[in-house]
């Protein structure tokens, strides 16, 4: 699909409906975002474009996924820059809903509460769900609400947020079984740091420090692949955490199964796992994950 420079900006539900009527015979793909876009987001657009006739990007800073102590108020909002970036992609429409359109007071959104799905909710209680217990409920609520409004053929999420991706795959299969969930590999900068909107909080020196995370994770995965015993497995992880503690405050650094996020504490012949990490540099939270293959 060739880049579209005539992107429609949809700032109301009425305009969204007009767009849907205009392209009612087209497969519309959705890329949900909170804006402050980077090339990682743009890669999601291209992934969707390969499966759909039209690509819509939503931009909505979702209050439901921020705790009172987090950075909702200061989260970067760069709409003009985002629109300019999307002009050079396959995006054909940007949906910029208002808070009252996503969360109307009369909406029955309780169906989207994770606690209603006991086979999915446990996935939200580990890794990021420990220090951010509100987060995945907020993500599921806003994504399901967007699915309800847009009714896309497919939607795409990045593997950097692997836990989020897994939860959304399972919830979508239950509530919106006709919507296909696509994934896109983690995009990284020249020094292998996973791209994130929050990287904008760093100065040049801090960005250099931040590269210690992907470097350490890569080395750790290489060591785990050739690991032969549970004792050695634990030593490898302990040494890696000790190294990271020179640069970061560690939230978690652990290996979990790809499918159910159960903790993996030793090597085995059928290893199907990833190394997951979340750390703080100053007050900025970084997450990453690497498959162990």
Q: Residues 41, 43, 46, CA angle at the centre, nearest 5°?
A: 120
Cα 41 from chain centroid (whole Å): 10
Q: Which two tokens stand for residue 227?
A: 């690991």
Find the length of the chain. Answer: 293
* First-to-last C-alpha distance (Å) of the chain: 33
Helical axes 79-86 vs 39-49, angle rounded to 10°: 40
Q: How far is CA 7 from CA 16, 42, 80, 85, 187, in A?
A: 13, 15, 13, 11, 24
Contact 163, 170 (CB under 8 A): no
Q: Which DSSP helix (H) or strand (E) runs through 252?
A: strand 249-257
User: Comparing C-alpha atoms, which of 185, 182, 204 is closest to residue 195?
Assistant: 185
User: Comparing C-alpha atoms, which of 121, 3, 112 is closest to residue 55?
Assistant: 3
Q: Which of 41, 51, 134, 243 is catalytic?
A: 41
Contact 202, 210 (CB under 8 A): yes
d(C-alpha 245, C-alpha 80), whole Å: 38
Q: Is the dihedral of CA 220, 224, 228, 234 positive or negative?
A: positive
Bridge partners (DSSP) of residue 184 are 158
Contact 32, 158 (CB under 8 A): no
- Identify whether 41 is a catalytic site residue: yes
**Active-site residue numbers?**
41
């Amino acid at each position: 699909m060739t880049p579209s420079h005539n992107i429609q900006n949809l700032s109301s539900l009425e305009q969204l409906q007009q767009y849907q009527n205009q392209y009612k015979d087209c497969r519309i793909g959705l890329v949900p975002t909170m804006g402050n876009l980077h090339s990682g987001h743009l890669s999601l657009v291209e992934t969707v474009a390969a499966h759909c006739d039209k690509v819509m990007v939503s931009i909505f800073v979702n209050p439901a996924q921020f705790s009172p102590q987090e950075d909702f108020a200061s989260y970067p909002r760069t709409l003009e820059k985002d629109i300019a970036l999307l002009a050079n992609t396959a995006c054909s429409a940007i949906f910029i809903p208002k808070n009252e359109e996503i969360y109307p007071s009369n909406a029955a959104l309780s169906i989207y509460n994770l606690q209603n799905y006991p086979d999915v909710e446990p996935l939200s209680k580990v890794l990021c769900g420990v220090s951010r217990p509100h987060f995945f409920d907020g993500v599921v609520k806003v994504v399901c609400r967007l699915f309800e409004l847009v009714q896309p053929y497919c939607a795409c999420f990045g593997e950097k947020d692997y836990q989020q991706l897994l939860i959304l795959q399972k919830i979508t299969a239950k509530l919106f079984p006709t919507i296909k969930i696509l994934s896109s590999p983690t995009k990284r900068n020249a020094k292998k740091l996973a791209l994130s909107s929050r990287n904008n909080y760093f100065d040049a020196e801090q960005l250099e420090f931040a590269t210690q995370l992907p470097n350490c994770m890569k080395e750790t995965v290489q060591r785990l692949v050739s690991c032969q015993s549970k004792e050695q497995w634990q030593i490898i992880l302990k040494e890696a955490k000790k190294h990271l503690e020179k640069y970061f405050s560690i939230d978690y650094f652990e290996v979990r199964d790809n499918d159910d996020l159960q903790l993996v504490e030793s090597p085995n012949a059928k290893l199907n796992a990833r190394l997951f990490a979340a750390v703080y540099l100053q007050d900025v939270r970084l997450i990453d994950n690497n498959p162990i293959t």
